[in-house]
């Protein structure tokens, strides 16, 4: 029986493949699209049974080649560029493709764990898995929102597990290929190493400089939640996957800088000290993001806790410190 991971060479997908390997699972089929060939590096330390291009995979799936041969599908593949303006591509890639896999899983009674997104909440202030709080600001968010609605309609009649994870701001190892869409922590690490300073947006939407708040969740915690639901195939639904704790971007900046300074044998600095020394710099808020930017996110994780997930989530300070040590080659 195969464990299938789509988006397997991507950020969260590759971390899931590694977690499966850590459990002794090697019969993993990795599905991705390697137009960005450098993503292969995410799988170099992983063991897989086969690799399939995403188009080849869906053709084989719909032709019945995997009937009776799949243990679980982790569907992490998607276009996650929130600045993408090609709506036809976004809907084909994020909605129609996801639907094809869903139909297979329902027909074959295969657990289906898929990536949704906190972007479905748009500019709202309540982040609870309920239709009245959802209003995406871009076509990426809409593609995720629309698929979640389809899942809601199919859940009551499903005989197998369906779980959607509304990922908040995920950061951590194996995201280097994402370029400008990589996490703030990743960019801050590289900015500090190259220039000795980090950059943040100036204030917007009533927030001060660097004080926009997001729910930043370490990828190790994201993987642990995925593994929890794989271990409990009786649990289905759409769940927020964040920490339940909003922290300002300033916290990411200071945590990254201080983690780098610790590796240099230097003492920690406060935000005020970093500002006075020019280590933290604020830049103009991009016009292209106005009206499309979430200045505040904080997952309501009550539903996740009610499903039985009890582990603590790393704070920004804890997660960024570990991530910086990873990026610096220390772990």
Active site residues per annotation: 140, 178
- The distance of Cα 283 from the centroid of its chain, to the nearest Å, equals 25
**Is-contact 168 120, C-beta < 8 A?**
no
* Ramachandran sector of residue 31 (left: φ over 0; alpha: ψ -120 to 50; beta: rest): beta
**Is-contact 81 140, C-beta < 8 A?**
yes
The strand pairing partners of 252, in sequence order, are none
Please state, in angstroms and rounded to a whole number, the distance separating the CA atoms of residues 199 and 201: 7
Nearest to 72 by CA among 108, 112, 107: 112
Which H helix or E strand runs over 169? strand 169-171
**Residue 50 phi, psi (nearest 5):** -165, 160
Which residues, 6 or more positions from 168, have their beta carbon under 8 angstroms from its beta carbon? 118, 214, 215, 216, 217, 240, 241, 242, 243, 297, 299
**Is-contact 322 257, C-beta < 8 A?**
no
**Residue 65 phi, psi (nearest 5):** -70, -20
**Angle at CA of residue 87, ends 85 and 92, nearest 5°:** 135
Would you call 141 helix, strand, or coil by DSSP? helix
**Residue 51 phi, psi (nearest 5):** -120, 135
Tokens of 12: 């969260």
Please state, in angstroms and rounded to a whole number, the distance separating the CA atoms of residues 297 and 208: 16
């Amino acid at each position: 029986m195969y464990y299938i991971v789509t988006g397997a060479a991507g950020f969260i997908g590759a971390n899931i493949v590694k977690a499966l390997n850590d459990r002794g699972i090697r019969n993993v089929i990795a599905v991705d699209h390697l137009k960005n060939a450098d993503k292969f590096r995410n799988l170099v330390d992983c063991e897989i049974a086969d690799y399939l291009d995403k188009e080849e995979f869906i053709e084989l799936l719909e032709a019945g080649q995997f009937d009776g041969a799949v243990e679980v599908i982790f569907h992490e593949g998607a276009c996650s560029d929130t600045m993408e303006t090609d709506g036809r591509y976004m809907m084909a890639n994020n909605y129609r493709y996801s639907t094809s896999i869903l139909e297979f899983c329902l027909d074959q009674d295969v657990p289906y764990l898929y990536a949704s997104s906190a972007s479905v909440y748009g500019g709202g202030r309540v982040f609870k898995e309920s239709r009245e709080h959802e209003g995406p600001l871009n076509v990426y968010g809409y593609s995720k929102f629309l698929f979640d609605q389809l899942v809601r309609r199919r859940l009551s009649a499903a005989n197998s597990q369906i779980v959607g994870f509304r990922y908040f701001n995920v950061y951590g190892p194996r995201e280097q290929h994402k370029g400008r869409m990589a996490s703030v922590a990743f960019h801050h690490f590289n900015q500090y190493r190259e220039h000795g300073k980090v950059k943040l947006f100036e204030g917007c939407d009533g927030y001060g400089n660097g004080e926009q708040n997001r729910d930043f969740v370490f990828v190790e915690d994201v993987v642990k939640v995925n593994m929890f639901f794989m271990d409990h195939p009786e649990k289905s639904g759409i769940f927020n996957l964040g920490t339940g704790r909003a922290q300002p971007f300033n916290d990411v900046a200071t945590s990254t800088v201080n983690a780098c300074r610790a590796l240099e044998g230097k003492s920690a600095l406060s935000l005020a000290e970093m500002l006075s020394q020019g280590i933290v710099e604020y830049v103009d808020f991009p016009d292209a993001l106005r009206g499309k930017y979430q200045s505040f996110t904080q997952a309501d994780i009550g539903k996740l806790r009610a499903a039985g997930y009890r582990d603590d989530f790393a704070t920004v300070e804890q997660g960024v410190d570990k991530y910086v040590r990873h990026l610096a080659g220390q772990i």
